[in-house]
Structure 1
Amino acid sequence: MPSSPVRPTSSESIADGTCTLDDGRRIAYNISGTDDGYPIFHLHGWPGARTEVSLFALQAAQLRARIIAIDRPGIGLSDPHPQRTVIDHALDIRQVAKHLGLEEYSVMGVSGGGQYALACAFLIPPEELRSMALVCGQGPVEISLRGMKWGNQIVVRAFQYCPAFIRLLMHRTSLMLKLLHLDLISNERITRHAQWLLRWNLLGVPEMDRKLMADHGTLLAVITSVRVGVDGCLEEGRITTSELGFDLRDIKRNVRLWYGREDTDVPVAIGEEIARQLRGNGTLRVEDATHLSLVVDYQRPILQDLIDVGYNTVLL
């Protein structure tokens, strides 16, 4: 584990805007770090939104990186894109890059953003996409769920085999929250309640993550990013439990794979299988970390590696 990791203490962004794509849809983005820094697209988790990038804001500024986080279609301020695929969203990323005037950039897929990062590695030419990383990233649905906690396994299998039940459950839950006006509770108030639950270990959160969530900024970033709409979450569940539409063996460039040995959300076995399917084009790093602690405690080496590889990639 890196010595004396710097905790995120600032969620200030450089820019918050939208890009209108060729088909008329809008994609919302948030840019953190430095406005002249090395560009890295941040692909958020599930559930999640572009606000998740606030976890990386301080380190991005220190490393002179410019992190561009985008809401996937139907999430946050981005327009829906019915029946989209992971490849469709990789095409969206290329259009956002063009809108921002970026000729070269990198991609980082965190947790549920992993499949989208793999699609970028498959689709986007190396002269544009200079480096890419999966950070506890989800892989193809056919990969074994060995090591994943039961709750997550149930959700994955439910999306695969009985999505109508998940849809009904989530919509009923959303309706109940609205009837009780619980959907209007501020993030700050939810944070105070969550801190109390964490103090008494009532959420079943691993000890490493409980310590991280004791930091107000970290907890607020997590809560803000997961307060997304039901329809967007359902569409994400459909996509991430469907076939990718391409074979990992067809990715002919290096993908950096970062996984936590103590992670039971996206276990290390998934990273190992992705590395195997990449056939030598995956560089696997396994750290003594959980799901959240990998994202928070290892963000500096992850970002630095993306920047170094991005600047030093030699095109043949």
Structure 2
Amino acid sequence: MSYTQQGTFSYRAAAPGSVYDTGAAQSGEPLFRALVREVPFEFRYSATAEQAHQWGGSYRLLAELSANDGWKRTLELQPRTSFSGDQFAARGTLGLAEIKTLTDQIEAQTGIKHEYYTVAIVPQIELAGTLAGQPLRDTSFAPRLRFRLDDLELQVLRDTNSDADPFAPSQEGALPYSTVVPNTIALLGLQLDVLPARWIGLAVAALALAAGVWLARKQALAGMVDEPARIQFEYGPRLIAVQDSDLLIAEDTVEVANFSDLARLAEREERMILYERCGPVHHYVVQIAGTRYHYRVVEASIAPQEART
């Protein structure tokens, strides 16, 4: 959020005779010391911003007299004054006779005669308040209107390297602020917010993991030639191993053609599968209401021999 502080310097000093068209020296014209004894200065200030604001602050008007050897004196033309709103006018009068008395005293005391001095009219403004509800910071504004002062005249100094008008200074200010802007990411030609894109990424990763587990399981089962090993790998948590049981000593025993049918039967009836190994022969039984459903399998290395006998 930006704002602008600006102002306009002006002066009008009465002078006898016909040296000046209007009988007074106007802003920008030289001030001849033989004709002008004092110069009333005015600085009209304003602050502007596009956002809603509530401003006030304080100001004072100074005159700085300095020499090219670093010597400087500050004169107060208007003491510090408070203001409310976004504009005011500071006014003060610079006495050229007073300046002459001061420079004569300095030169008499130091023994140094200066060819010229520099006079700067300086409004010092401290702006305070809020901009769009945020407090202002670092809002000092102190433009300078500079003159060259010699024994004959007070003349405006202009910067030959700049087109800026020394009578209309301005200063831009900026108040940092933050806003929430959703991050986006390109996915398949679409611009998506980062959060939905993350959820999509997690879902894709979960699907990829599930597919990987399924493929690994399928490959593991395919690599197992021995059926008991495949049954143990796939249905292990649903098997209960028993020893020396009477699983097979029953008249009402139903032989099941394959293990998958037995497994579906156990799942439908919510039963565990009893498992017993008798040497190379593996027995799997599901008992339901007095009936035993039985599946028998022989280890792969033994089955061909059994088939030949």
Hey, which of these two has a bigger chunk of helix by percent? 1
With normalisation by structure 2, the TM-score equals 0.19
Q: Which has the higher contact order (CA 8 A, sep 6+)?
A: 1
With normalisation by structure 1, the TM-score equals 0.19
Higher-Rg structure is 2
